[in-house]
Amino acid sequence: MSANKLFRLVINQSTIVVFVLMLVAAGFLSDRFFSPDNITNILRQSVPLGIVSLGLLYVILTGGIDLSVGSVMALVSVVVALTIPGFGVAGAVAISLVVGVACGLVSGSLVANFGIAPFIATLATMTITRGLSLIVSKGQPIFIDDQAFMDFGGASVFGVPALFFLLIVVTIAALFLNRKTVFGRLVVAIGSNETATRFSGINITTIKLAVYAISGFTCAIAGVVSATRTGVGSPILAIGFELDAIAAVVVGGASLAGGRGTVVNTLIGALILSMISNLMNLMDIPGYHQQVVKGVIIVFAVLLESAKRRATTHH
């Protein structure tokens, strides 16, 4: 392989390259990083962020944004905790997924049917769902008393957490939707050029509604996952989580203007962010400092992305 080809490969796969470099660096910075316990820990921690980011990727691909992800997770965790006693685990999970999709449809409808800017529409949904979760829970955490439900959160298969398999399943589904379906293609088309897509006789409203519903659905899964891990339905769960999710998608190389972004890189983006948090904990970096480091890393990731775009458009 020539140097030029290698260079181009590095540029094109920059997200993966950054990920590998970070893994190597992490190994040097902390000798506990590669211990089996810690790896399991990272994998488990990355699940909610990974799942939410994959749903959010669809919204961002259309050129939209979903700020309500953290609030929807909180509402769902409260709903699942409240409904397990009455409906059983399966019933409660089903209800939770419906609630998540319903929240997404509200945002989607505000954007697609009423033409409200996605930032504002989902800001409203974010505030409303956070309020609802506080009302429904009366502001108190709700403890879950169901052993089967709790066991899933801690279960492992061959040392890999069961929850991580869930993330893999969601990734495969997202990949399939993105690569193999008409829907996935139209999502990219809308983000690339909404006018031309509409002029091709495509019904934009339906597609936009659907991407927010997908985001609501993945938030619901993440909300249930959080509940199984902690055993609590918490109305103050995942405050500020939308920013982590947006960061993961952007670190994964997606464009907030829409049209550009891949499923695999988004997953890696989420893993990078989870890994950074974990590494800084291992290194005993205080929480306040961690935020600064995270911010700097996001800036570098985006700069790398724009440098890459410039490099590839010159050809």
Partner 1 sequence: MSDYAIRIEGVGKTFGGVHALRDVALRVRAGTIHALVGENGAGKSTLMNILAGILRRDKGTIEVFGDPADFASPVESQKRGIAIIHQELALAPDLSVAENMFLGDLGNGSMFVDWKTMNRKAGSALSAFGFNISPTTMCGDLSVAYQQIVEITKALVIQDCRVLILDEPTAVLADPETDVLFDNLRKLKESGITIIYISHRLEEIFRIADAITVFKDGRTVADLDPRSCTEEDIITNMVGRRLEALFPPKPERDPDGDVLLKVDNLTRSGVLDNVSLNLRVGEIVGLSGLIGSGRSEVVRAIFGIDPIDAGTIEVSGKRQVIRKPSDAMRVGIGLVPEDRKRQGGILPMSIRENMTMTNLEAISRFGITNARAERRIAQASQDRVKIKLGALNDALSSLSGGNQQKVIVAKWLNTDCKILILDEPTRGVDVGAKAEIYSIIAALAADGVGILVISSELVEIIGLCHRTYVMSEGVIAGELKGGEMTEEAIMRLAIPKRRVH
How far apart are alpha carbons 46 and 44 in whole angstroms?
5
Q: Which of 107, 129, 171, 197 binds partner 1 (CB under 8 A)?
A: 197
How far apart are alpha carbons 19 and 269 in whole angstroms?
8
How far apart are alpha carbons 258 and 109 in whole angstroms?
19
Q: Which of 189, 238, 245, 249 binds partner 1 (CB under 8 A)?
A: 189
How far apart are alpha carbons 156 and 141 in whole angstroms?
27
With CB under 8 A as the contact rule, which of the stretches 48-56, 72-80, 123-131, 189-197 interacts with partner 1? 189-197
Q: Using an 8 Å Cβ cutoff, are 74 and 223 in contact?
A: yes
Q: Is 114 in the site for partner 1 (CB under 8 A)?
A: no
To partner 1, the closest distance from the beta carbon of 147 in angstroms equals 40
Q: Is 181 in the site for partner 1 (CB under 8 A)?
A: yes
Q: Is 243 in the site for partner 1 (CB under 8 A)?
A: no
Q: Is 192 in the site for partner 1 (CB under 8 A)?
A: yes
Q: Is 129 in the site for partner 1 (CB under 8 A)?
A: no
To partner 1, the closest distance from the beta carbon of 186 in angstroms equals 8
Q: Which of 8, 198, 294, 309 binds partner 1 (CB under 8 A)?
A: 198
How far apart are alpha carbons 213 and 295 in whole angstroms?
29
To partner 1, the closest distance from the beta carbon of 90 in angstroms equals 27
Q: Which of 27, 35, 127, 185 binds partner 1 (CB under 8 A)?
A: 185
Please say which residue, 196 or 307, places its beta carbon nearer to partner 1: 196
Q: Which of 201, 240, 286, 287 binds partner 1 (CB under 8 A)?
A: 201
Q: Which of 102, 196, 296, 307 binds partner 1 (CB under 8 A)?
A: 196
To partner 1, the closest distance from the beta carbon of 262 in angstroms equals 14
Reduced to 3 states (helix: H, G, I; strand: E, B; else coil), residue 198 is: helix
Q: Is 36 in the site for partner 1 (CB under 8 A)?
A: no
What is the x/- site pattern for partner 1, positions 248-287, by CB under 8 A? -----------xx---------------------------
- Give the number of residues in contact with partner 1, rule: CB under 8 A: 21
Q: Which of 36, 182, 288, 310 binds partner 1 (CB under 8 A)?
A: 182
To partner 1, the closest distance from the beta carbon of 176 in angstroms equals 8
Q: Using an 8 Å Cβ cutoff, are 81 and 229 in contact?
A: no
Query: From the CB of residue 205, how many other CB atoms can be counted at a distance below 10 Å?
Result: 14
With CB under 8 A as the contact rule, which of the stretches 76-84, 198-206, 231-239, 278-286 interacts with partner 1? 198-206
Helix or strand holding residue 218 (H, E)? helix 204-230
Q: Is 90 in the site for partner 1 (CB under 8 A)?
A: no
* Long-range contacts of the stretch 186-193 (C-beta < 8 A, 24+): 187/58, 187/61, 187/62, 187/211, 188/61, 188/259, 190/61, 190/62, 190/63, 190/258, 191/60, 191/61, 191/62, 191/63, 191/257, 191/258, 191/259, 191/260, 192/258, 192/259, 193/259
With CB under 8 A as the contact rule, which of the stretches 64-72, 130-138, 149-157, 186-194 interacts with partner 1? 186-194
* DSSP secondary structure letters along 247-297: HHHHHTT--TTSS---HHHHHHHHHHHHHHHHHHHHTT--HHHHHHHHHHH
| 66 phi-psi bin (left φ>0, alpha ψ -120 to 50, beta other) | beta
How far apart are alpha carbons 32 and 25 in whole angstroms?
13
Binding site for partner 1 (CB under 8 A): 180-183, 185-186, 188-189, 192-193, 195-203, 259-260
